[in-house]
Amino acid sequence: MQGQPKAIAVLTSGGDAAGMNMAIRAVTRSALARGWAVYGVQEGFAGLIAPPEEGKISRLEARDVGGILGRGGTVLGSARCKDFHDEKARARGIDNLAALGVDALVVIGGNGSQTGAHALHEQGLAVIGIASTIDNDLEGSDITLGADTALNVAVDAVDKLRVTASSHRRASIVEVMGRHCGYIGLAVGLATGAEAIVLPENDVSPDEVAQRIVNAYERGKHHAIVIVAEGARHNAQALAAILERDHRERVRFDMRVTVLGHIQRGGTPTVQDRLLGARFGAHAIECLARGEHGVLVGLRGSEVVTTPLAEVIGKQKPLDLDLVELAHVLAQ
């Protein structure tokens, strides 16, 4: 791309995340304010490489993104696309954009999405990534778009489960999302005062979980909370089965399992995710305006920054495991 683009496209890819719509709105209106044409790509990379007659790429005007800032998910839709791993399929997507006069693309999504964005950039397309995943495992951003809303949904659910658990003297074993990253589990466990937090990065044995539940009972607590990240060695159901089989008499609490699942992706975006979506989207357009591309837009401290996509892909942001010990101490 030589100079500023005349037309750009925007898509959302991978798992949906609250705040994506605010980012779509910010990208669209910031680009329109510069006199650029804007196109929305439906269904992520699958829509990008679809035959033109399917109409997956269409113009976006200011009013097309009106009223979406408070909606969860993504109005453009998202889909997994195995075909996109093929260089020829990606070339077809670039050709689809070129036929419309589009010379730059904004990709809103997480690890897999930014890997796709980087591949397109390597094939000559000007691409900007926006860090968006509830897992918050993407290098290049302290916090990713959608993570705050997911945390608030999960914390609210655990707080409600605690009320019932206390009323019936139960131990609640709650599974949260996060794929292979324990960020949601760690943050939710610390925020809710969980007795035990079981993560892929910091495995806690069933014996140790049982002991922590016993300790809670002996301290006079009427309930116990165990948070399990979905990528842990034992998921919530497996952990509960082991505790029931091997430690039933010691634990003494009745045990209940709750798998929060995709409820964590939904909900109204929090103020933080709305602000991030607005800032990330506007910054992506500023980057394109000054000829910067092949980068991911994210947050470092309080500043919106960019990181080369080549330094982002194939990596998982490490957890601050000191927080695991803090959570354990504060739960005593």
- Nearest 5°: the CA angle 228, 258, 197 is 20
Looking at the structure, do residues 237 and 201 belong to the same domain, yes or no?
yes
Q: Is 162 annotated as a binding residue?
A: yes
pLDDT for 1 equals: 63
The tens place of each residue's pLDDT in the chain, 332 residues long, gives 667 789 999 999 999 999 999 999 999 999 999 999 999 999 999 999 999 999 999 999 999 999 999 999 999 999 888 889 899 999 999 999 999 999 999 999 999 999 999 999 999 999 999 999 999 999 999 999 999 999 999 999 999 999 988 888 888 999 999 888 999 999 999 999 999 999 999 989 999 999 999 999 889 888 999 999 999 999 999 999 999 999 988 888 888 999 998 888 888 999 999 999 999 999 999 999 999 999 999 999 999 999 999 999 989 899 998 998 999 898 88
In a domain, 331, yes or no: no
pLDDT for 178 equals: 86
pLDDT for 179 equals: 83
Looking at the structure, do residues 13 and 130 belong to the same domain, yes or no?
yes
Looking at the structure, do residues 261 and 185 belong to the same domain, yes or no?
yes
pLDDT for 166 equals: 87
Q: Report the residue count for the chain.
A: 332
In a domain, 322, yes or no: no
pTM of the model: 0.94
pLDDT for 210 equals: 94
Q: Is 169 annotated as a binding residue?
A: no
Looking at the structure, do residues 49 and 104 belong to the same domain, yes or no?
yes
Catalytic residues: 135
Q: Is 270 annotated as a binding residue?
A: no
Looking at the structure, do residues 167 and 130 belong to the same domain, yes or no?
no
Cα-Cα-Cα-Cα dihedral of 14, 17, 19, 21, to 10°?
Answer: 50
pLDDT for 64 equals: 96
Looking at the structure, do residues 119 and 142 belong to the same domain, yes or no?
yes
Tokens representing 27?
């990208």
Looking at the structure, do residues 223 and 185 belong to the same domain, yes or no?
yes
Looking at the structure, do residues 142 and 285 belong to the same domain, yes or no?
yes
pLDDT for 176 equals: 96
In a domain, 63, yes or no: yes
In a domain, 328, yes or no: no
Q: Which helix (H) or strand (E) holds 290?
A: none
Q: Which residue's structure tokens are 């495992």?
A: 137
Looking at the structure, do residues 123 and 249 belong to the same domain, yes or no?
no
Q: Which helix (H) or strand (E) holds 327?
A: helix 322-330
Q: Is 22 annotated as a binding residue?
A: no
Q: How many domains does the chain have?
A: 2
Ramachandran assignment for 76, one of left (phi > 0), alpha (psi -120 to 50 degrees), beta (any other): alpha
Contact 228, 235 (CB under 8 A): yes
In a domain, 326, yes or no: no
Q: Is 112 annotated as a binding residue?
A: yes
Domain with 13 in it = 7-146+269-311
